[in-house]
Structure 1
Amino acid sequence: MNTLQNTISISEHLIEMLCIPFEGTIEPIIIGNTLQLGPLVGIFTAGFTESLLRPIGDRSFMFANLIAENNQKNSFIFVFGTHGIDWENETIQGYFFTNKRWIKEVVPFPTVIYNRLPNRKVEVHKSIKRVRQKLEKEYKIPWFNPGFFNKWDLYLKLKNDDSVAQYLPKTLKFNNFDTIEELLSKYHFVYVKPENGSLGSRVILIRYQREEGIYYCRYRDFETNRLQKFSTLQSLINHVFRNMKIHDFIVQQGISLIRYEHQPVDFRVHTNKDALGKWHVTVIAGKIAGKGSTTTHLNNGGRVKTLEELFDQEKAKRIHEKLSTAALKISESLDRQVDGHIGEIGFDIGVDKDETIWLFEANSKPGRSIFSNPSFQENDKQIKKLFLEYATHLSKQGNELEASMK
């Protein structure tokens, strides 16, 4: 060791034996009598292609940005799938992004794994579940984040926590017509949404106009926002839900949201853990619904703005504080109740005309569409920084646990 420069140099032979993928500056971690070079962070996903230009298809750019932002920060980060695992030699052929290009290298099993499986269908596949269980249980490698959240399960968990129950709109399982009628009689309009949906998919708004005795239904049909009216609720359900399993849906109280340019606005709030496992609010973005849309999602014509673009300075500050308080409380509640390590959550939160806060959804693998607004560039960088901080935190915890078991 060169004590003047506080560096450790190792031979090319040892680099080859340790499967160190390329030269770089990494942080030595000493646990007991073991010196670890790392962390070695594996991003677990699916949907790989044969092309090294875009090895993970359309998501290659997202992963490249995440890795590139952290390439100079004492770590090795790579993307891998089930096909790259060599159980016999306990190595993985992973995809690294370095010098502005993707390369494939063989490395040891990671010290921590970041779960970025693309959808629920992949997540429940037998081979995926088998690999996860083996790496997590047999090899004791810590994972974050857990699986995709189920809306109904989350509602039940949060409803029983007095610290956050106030933020929940009334929600029922969609069992029959009476479920919708019950909520319509109290709240004038309701949202019907799949328990396991994402990106605003299959979200349906139903409103009953008493004076006319008519049910209005707004929904998205392929690429078109539709508004239809029905004389009875049964005819509405028979038409709109004809190819759907209604028992997979929930019915949620409608909330009259604050508006911008006559369109409803809700908010995407991201929370992330830091190097100590503490939650931080990392971004708050206003999402304005597209014309005729039931949701504020960008793929349905929505727009993204900062709080300062939506409100005057005083109101922006007030809304920011209310949203931050709610998001941190809900993050801590979920952390206590959901199995596994959670490193990030994306919340869809509404604010009504009285500035009351309402939680619509929580996402364990939040999308990145809001960062298309350049105003959130620094927030994006902070999220990528905290990703590595928390991964390093879990990596050290995992190694300390392993050392204590020897």
Structure 2
Amino acid sequence: MMLKSKVAVQVISSGMLPEDTLMLGEAQVKQWKIPQGQHIILKFGAFRQHVKIIPVAKYDGMRMSQSLARLMGITSGTAVRLQYKASTATLVLGPLIGVLVSRDYPHLPDKPFGSITMFCRELVEACTAQGAYVYFFTPNQIGPSLDNIDGWIYSDGWRKVTMPVPDVVNNRLTTRKLENRPSVQHFMKEVKLKHQTTVFNEKFLDKTEVFDALKKDETLVRYLPESHLLRNFTMLKSMCSRYSNVFLKPVRGSLGKGIIRITRLETGGYQAMYATAAGTRKQPYTSLVKLFSTISVKMKTVRYQIQQGLQLIEIQKRPVDFRALVQKNAAGKWTITSIVARTAGNHHFVSNLARGGTLSTVGEAVAKSNLQAGVSRQDAAHRLQQAALNIARGVDTQIPAHFGELGIDLAMDTSGRVWLLEVNSKPSKNDNTPLNDNKIRPSVRMMIQYSRFLSGF
């Protein structure tokens, strides 16, 4: 039986307490049967040190010397969980969570992480509440050491301290370029081997990879619009003959940039709609060959996925889609944190908020839409939830990387059938949801619960 609890750490001057001595409440020492007067191992992330435990009557915290606290990167007043593993005589503090972010701005002490600073603060608050310890670091802070990292902690303001490599790394890098840096890849691989650190949201996903992986599971095929890597004219021709409209999506695209919609016209020609920042540009072509010659110029630099066009539900002629945030919980199981409906802005066929779209609840959107009668709001919501969970499990099973949260973009056609648009392994965390009334978002709490699950706390 492993008893777990949260203790407040008091840091006292090194002259009053040797570095290898910890004071702990007598009740806890008895409860865990921690041997007194002999050395046991203290563990915090990758940090290990032999210490002696002194029980203190009528006390329920933990006291350590300044020099020990400095080695651990812990500040006075921190509350952390602890557990004693008798089999290895180890007192484990934690969980220690490291969040890998793209960049920091050391010259801006109030906003060291730019637009995600509030999210980072929120994470700190949530960790304090749950007895976890979190720090933030960037690829530039990854050095030759696999034991320590210079990271940012929040303690009466942001400050940089040397921290042990954590139990869990949450990869929040926002570009493939940073993620593919040799130093980052080397670090992620080596800390797993050396310290059994778990890394989650290990990598970016691209559309082709996701669709090819999910195709292997026959229970998921029903969510996948027909889609292929566009290699040549023959493929464009066969897709355009099967479907009245098709989409070309850049394989590595994001925010709806560069999507082209091709529609077969009554007159026998075709129309291409190009998504640009300013809105939609329409271009008619008398033949598919002419259209392809325009696209083949782009294909020299961009790889496209060609996808069956869907008759999506609309509100006043604007397409609607859905973003589900799916996360692993305290038991390591996928759960739905939220699903929101997104309606495209005027003159756009892409629903990203970056393009003037609006958010609403699933129920509101479905009620206002042209979804055919016979599919109730509850029914629609239930179908979306089931699809999101099934797809998340499928990504886990079919793609050899570790994910703890996924943003899953879904659509619904007018008959009520759910389709997968894309899966994003780095759901956005910008300041568009401020810390209102110091409420910590459920998505942030869930991330910490999953980190606790991974590290055994």
Could you tell me the TM-score, scaled by structure 2's length?
0.79
CA distance in 2, matches of 1:389, 1:169: 34
- The equivalent of 1:388 in structure 2 is 448
State the Cα distance separating 1:169 from its structure 2 match.
Answer: 0.5
Contiguous gaps of at least 5 residues in structure 1:
398-406
Identity among equivalent positions (%) equals 28
What is the CA distance between 1:355 and its match in structure 2?
Answer: 0.2
Equivalent in 90, 105, 109 of residue 49 of structure 1? 105
The CA deviation at 1:371 is 6.0
C-alpha spacing 1:201/1:5, structure 2 compared with 1 (3 Å):
farther
3-state SS of 1:266 partner: strand
- SS of residue matched to 1:71: helix
2-structure distance, mates of 1:7, 1:21:
14
Q: Which has the larger radius of gyration?
A: 2
Match of 1:345 in 2: 406
Q: Partners of 1:275 and 1:26 in 2: how far apart? A: 17
Deviation of residue 341 (structure 1)? 2.0
1:54-93 to 2 correspondence within 5 Å?
A: 54-85=111-142, 87-88=144-145, 90-93=147-150
Cα displacement (A) at 1:242: 2.9
Equivalent residue number for residue 107 of structure 1: 163
Corresponding residue of 2:380: 319
Q: Tell me, what secondary structure is at the counterpart of 2:385?
A: helix
Matches within 5 A, 1:117-266: 117-209=173-265, 211-240=266-295, 242-245=297-300, 248-266=303-321
SS at match of 2:311: coil
8 A contact 1:174–1:247 mirrored in 2: no
- 1:289 paired with 2:344, answer yes
Distance apart, 1:61 and its partner CA: 3.1
Whether the 8 Å CA contact 1:40–1:110 is kept in 2: the answer is yes
One-letter code aligned to 2:229 = K
Alpha-carbon distance, 1:36 to partner: 1.5
Listed one character per residue, the Cα deviations across residues 187-233 of structure 1 (whole Å, up to 9, x for unaligned) are: 10011112222221211111111x21221111223434322212223
Q: In the alignment, is the contact (CA less than 8 A) between 1:288 and 1:296 conserved in 2?
A: yes
Asked if the contact 1:158/1:333 (under 8 Å) is kept, the reply is: yes
> Which structure's residues are more often helix, by fraction?
1
| Residue 358 of structure 1 pairs with residue 358 of structure 2 | no
- Separation (CA, whole Å) in 2 of partners of 1:262 and 1:282: 29
With over 3 angstroms needed to count, the CA separation of the structure-2 counterparts of 1:241 and 1:221, relative to structure 1, is farther
* Partner-residue secondary structure (3-state), 1:242: helix
For 1:294-309, what aligned pairs fall within 5 Å after superposition? 294-309=349-364
User: Once superposed, which parts of structure 1, at least 4 consecutive aligned residues long, lie more than 6 Å away?
Assistant: none
Distance 1:59 1:241 in 2: 38
2: CA distance between counterparts of 1:166 and 1:247? 28
Determine if contact 2:246/2:307 at 8 Å carries over to the other structure. Answer: yes
TM-superposed deviation, 1:40: 0.9
Relative to structure 1, is the Cα distance of residues 215 and 200 closer, same or farther in structure 2, using a 3 angstrom cutoff? same
Q: Is the 8 A contact 1:175 1:246 kept in 2?
A: no
Equivalent AA in structure 2 for residue 199 of structure 1: L
Q: 2:397 is paired with a residue of what secondary structure?
A: helix
* Structure 2 residue 91 is the aligned partner of structure 1 residue 35: yes
Equivalent pair of 1:282/1:383 in contact (CA under 8 Å): yes
The number of equivalent residue pairs is: 393
Matched residue, 2:372: none
Inter-CA distance 200–105: structure 2 relative to 1 (3 Å threshold): same
Change (3 A) 1:27 1:324: same
- 1:77: how far off? 0.8
| 8 Å Cα contact 1:143/1:340 also seen in 2 | no
Structure-2 change in CA distance of 1:235 and 1:89 (3 Å): closer
1:304 touches 1:370 (CA, 8 Å); kept in 2? no
**Among 128, 153, 162, which residue is 1:96 paired with?**
153
Distance 1:328 1:128, change over 3 A: same
Superposed CA RMSD in Å reads: 2.6
Amino acid in the other structure paired with 2:198: P
Bigger mean CA offset, 236-245 vs 114-123: 236-245
Partner of residue 30, structure 2: none
SS at match of 1:285: strand
What is the identity, as a one-letter code, of the residue corresponding to 2:423? A
Q: Is residue 273 from structure 1 mapped to residue 328 from structure 2 by the alignment?
A: yes
